[in-house]
Structure 1
Amino acid sequence: MPTALVLDDQVPPTGLRRGVPGTVLALGAVSFFTDISSEAVVAVLPLYVTAVLGMSPLAYGFLDGVYQGVSAVVRVLGGWWADRTQRSKEVALLGYGVSAVSRFLLLPASGFGALTGTVALDRLGKGLRTGPRDALIAGASAEHQLGRNFGVHRAMDTAGALVGPLAAFAILMSIPVGLGGYRSVFVLSAAAAVVGLAVLVLAVPGRSPRVIAAAAEAGPRMRWRDLTDPRLRRVLVAAGLLGLLTVGDGFLYLVLAGAGTFGASWFPLLMVGTNAVYLLLAVPLGRLADRVGRARVFLGGHLALVGAYVLTATQLGGAAWVIAVLALLGTFYAATDGVLAAIASRLVPPASRASGIAAAQTVVALSRFGSSVGFGLLWTLTGRSTAMVVVAVGLTAVLPVAAGLLRLRRTAEASS
């Protein structure tokens, strides 16, 4: 029997509190090394593209769009494949392997076409692995601890995202900023990717007892109609609308760098600041989402993003300005990344969990692809401050619509 409308699907913590499952910790270690690999590159990519290779903001916007959106091509495929075969680990392993190969191909890439192809290959690997990986986390987690466990994983993931840019910063400080320094960063990235693959193979179990029991009860085959649940559709529409107004981090970092507060070799530390806040807040905000409602925390994260846009548009300059922008950006990621996966995982049966999570992530990736390309064009036509104001106003206007979409009707069956 339906209950009153509630914002999202907050689950009252019942039963004994349990420790973090070993599968979650092992996948966190995989993501730790993988993020060292990926974020070392991402930290230097905006400056590498615009300053070293001499490309325009529009060209970087296209590359960032590829980075954000190409994974959407295979996210649902990766989720469907994992659900259909009940082999989430193997599908995730293929995705991590493809991304590792792209790290080695990045070394000789210097032209726009080669760089775009390498970035696309890396994002295809991410698209394959993300849904199956998050399904492994959800399958190993008690329902009332989903937010916390996703928060733990994202915190470990973000710890790697701290180390990667710090390592890139150390390399660029010790080697003159130029092609040699950037290629040294790419070598580090390739090595870390290989370590992450090894941890996945050796430390992550294929199927947890919880997943096996759920599959036996609900049936081993996913059904496409599981993805047509009206509540899931509303979540997908809300995530897509918000994603269209979510600008790639690199653009904010370029604005901060353009204010002249710091030199080029310090550029990777911008991502370190964002990820430090993400690391500190991922678990607390995950727990808060379990208690007060995941959609509330998800929407609150986007409010922090509006604040980051407005503050960036002012171009005040100075260390305090930079720190404030990075803090708001890190809060946004801590409140939205794992929380969206936790929301989606509860709106589909266990046999379709990877596909449901992948569907939400696909919508976000596609919308952010459009956002990156559109913002690059807007920046080129109007200037960086005006472009930031436009997206801040747009995101503010969309938030009430998203809040209405995320008021999900729970049934007794869904909340059991």
Structure 2
Amino acid sequence: MTDIGSMYVASVRPGERVKGRVPGTVVALGAVSLLTDVSAEMITAFMPFYLLFTLNMGYAQFGVLDGLYTGATAVLRLVGGHVSDRTRRHKAVAAVGYGLSAVTKLIFPVVGASAFGIGATLAVDRAGKGLRTAPRDALISLATPPDRLGAAFGLHRTMDTVGALLGPLVTFLLLYVVGTVAGPVFVVSACFAVVGLIVLVAFVRENPRPVLAGPRPSLRAGFALLRDVGYRRVAVAAALLGLATLSDAFVFILVQKATDAPLHLLPLLPLGTALVFLLAATPMGRLADRIGRWPVFLGGHVLLLAVYVLLLVSGTGYVGVGAALVLHGLFYAATDGVLSARVSALVPESLRASGLAVVQTGQALARLVSSVAFGFLLQFAAFGTAVYAAIGALVAAVVIAWRLNA
């Protein structure tokens, strides 16, 4: 798969259109994200099983670690966005982020069962993601005509999701073959991350753009974007919705508990979400280009609300698992790339990565708070109480976000 993908990427020049829709840069970055997401989702699929059922951590501890995994990207998103805008070397900054995440996969086996060691390694891994996300999205948006941003981000997220689909499957197969041994999972994850970095360096070409329209890049200029009413409303709404969004790990744990699915299937649950995301990301991106990116983004959170409600329905079994994962995948298809497309249209070229980073930082910090708070709630309150609290928070966030951007 890697050789074929590399040959295809190499045959597409950055400025060319793929089937008349998006530039080759998007395809190349999609291949990088595919490989990197195999690596990342292997860890995501393994961590709940490893921390809760191998190391016997409580939900509160898991919530803190999951919050680190989600929110440790926050500050470095701003750094990555600012440095890449200032130097106009988005690819180089993204490469540093990809490389940092690849190295951490080899550190996990060294820290063993230490909660502090695992937390620190997770934080460094996500710091790498924080550095690379805004420069990568800036590369996509700067190479794409404004009327095709939804389609471009949709295609990228589709390829990214192929990796998200394969990652849990690789983890499941490794656990099946070698048992619940952590080492092989981390080593294979590292290999995929390294190959992704090689593809980035070898095949992604940054189009030279000596002068970009807009203010001179600086941290102050990035935050000054919040003075614009339209941008500020999107940033605030995205953060509020992030505060009411449970992390993937908690969603999968809750689905398993609510439906009484066998515990050994927990690492496979991300496959359902990834498969739906794979099928729906590009169509959702095109739909957002046609009818508006914000209605699609907000509609995705209504789908997430339906996932939470399903958790309260007892006795659904595998039907409930399937329905929850379909809705969860559609939520991601309607929100992930669509938000980047919406923000890109509001930000000048010279501050593209910084503008994306400010919104992404607010969202990441909000999700960190969400993970920690929900972990403690699930630890000390009844299952139903925790779910009702999540439903109430998301309803309030959707209503406020709708009013802000009505």
Q: Measured at CA, do residues 65 and 220 of structure 1 come closer, stay the same or move farther in structure 2, by a change above 3 Å? A: same
Counterpart residue type for residue 91 of structure 1: V
Q: Quick check: 1:164 aligned with 2:167?
A: yes
Change (3 A) 1:217 1:348: closer
Structure of higher RCO (CA pairs closer than 8 Å, 6+ residues apart): 1
Structure 2 counterparts to residues 157-306 of structure 1, below 5 A:
157-176=160-179, 178=180, 180=181, 182-206=182-206, 208=207, 212=209, 215-218=211-214, 221=217, 223-224=221-222, 225-259=224-258, 261-306=260-305
Letter in 1 for 2:320: W
Q: Deviations over 1:209-267 (max 9, x none)?
A: 5xx17x35446645333443221111111011111110112112112323574433322
Distance 2:351 2:299 in 1: 28
Q: Does 1:134 align with 2:133?
A: no
Letter in structure 2 aligned against 1:184 = P
Long gaps (5+) in structure 1: 1-16, 408-416
Inter-partner Cα distance in structure 2 for 1:371 and 1:284: 29
User: Which portions of structure 1, spanning 4 or more consecutive aligned residues, are displaced by more than 6 angstroms?
Assistant: none
What TM-score, normalized by structure 2, do the two folds share?
0.91
Instruction: Check the 8 A contact 2:158/2:279 in 1, yes or no.
Output: yes
Partner of 2:80: 78
Q: Give me the whole-angstrom Cα distance separating, in 2, the residues matched to 1:98 and 1:395.
A: 34
How far apart are the structure 2 equivalents of 1:243 and 1:36?
Answer: 24
Q: CA deviation at 1:397?
A: 2.2
Equivalent residues of 2:225, 2:232 under 8 A apart:
no
- The residue identity in structure 1 corresponding to 2:160 is D
Cα distance in 1, alignment partners of residues 322 and 29 from structure 2 = 30
How many residues get paired? 385
Return the alpha-carbon distance in structure 2 between the equivalents of residues 216 and 250 of structure 1. 40
Task: Give the aligned partner of residue 143 of structure 1.
Answer: 146
Q: Is the 8 A contact 1:76 1:358 kept in 2?
A: yes
CA distance in 1, matches of 2:252, 2:294: 28
Match of 2:48 in 1: 46
> TM-score under structure 1 normalisation?
0.89
* Shift in CA distance, 229/191, structure 1 to aligned 2, threshold 3 Å: same
Equivalent-residue separation in structure 2 for 1:328 and 1:238 (angstroms):
21
Aligned equivalents of 2:213 and 2:47: distance in 1? 47
Give 1:24's match in structure 2, choosing from 23, 26, 40. Answer: 26
Same amino acid, percent of matched pairs = 47
* CA displacement 1:337-375 (0-9 Å, x = unmatched): 111111111111100000011111101100000000010
Aligned to 1:321: 320
**Distance change in 2, residues 1:361/1:315 (3 Å):** farther
Indicate how the Cα distance of structure 1 residues 73 and 315 shifts in structure 2: closer, same or farther if over 3 A, else same.
farther
Q: Which residue of 2 aligns with 1:112?
A: 115
Q: Give the RMSD, CA atoms, in angstroms.
A: 1.7
Change (3 A) 1:260 1:333: closer
Q: Distance in 2 between matches of 1:220 and 1:397?
A: 38
Q: Is the 8 A contact 1:256 1:317 kept in 2?
A: no
Note the C-alpha offset of 1:72: 0.2
